[in-house]
Amino acid sequence: MKKRALRVLICIYKDEKVSYNTKGEDMKNTNPLEKAKKFASRILKLSTYIKKEKNLEEGVSLLVETGLKLGASLSFAFENEFNEYIFETLQKALELAISISFYLEVFFAIGILNDKEFSSINADCAELVAIISELLKSIHEGA
């Protein structure tokens, strides 16, 4: 994809202020980069909750690390408009988001997260997966 077209695509997403079919109130009406930051914050809060309330350490640090890497990858992709490796950066972000969804499903399956807790944060994760997938598709089709 030509760099100019890629910059336009990224600027559209940076300025976007609409909801992407989200159910999580924290994630509504913000642009994708802000969504990533809010999601990383939610992951940090969730890890604190799990450690404190559920007395569980195992797996939590991996969830935090992956959540922060996801936010950093999206930040790099959106803030660096001349990134030659934007497709690869977004692919990595997609992989991280899918990994987080898996971790959340495991925490739900073993009873660490209840239905309400899981549904809320997993919906936000699914939204990020959808946004990243849409970006990758747009870049791929424009290449």
Query: Long-range contacts for 68-74 (Cβ within 8 Å, ≥24 apart)?
Result: 68/40, 68/43, 68/44, 69/96, 70/36, 70/39, 70/40, 70/96, 70/97, 70/100, 70/128, 71/36, 71/37, 71/39, 71/40, 74/32, 74/33, 74/36, 74/128, 74/132
| Model confidence, pTM | 0.79
Domains in the chain, CATH or no CATH each: 31-142 (1.20.1440.60)
Q: What confidence tens digit (pLDDT) does each residue in 16-63 have?
A: 443 334 344 444 455 778 888 899 999 999 999 999 988 888 889 999
Q: What confidence tens digit (pLDDT) does each residue in 72-126 have?
A: 998 888 776 666 788 888 999 999 999 999 999 999 999 999 999 999 999 999 9
Where on the phi/psi map is residue 85: left (φ > 0), alpha (ψ -120 to 50), or beta? alpha
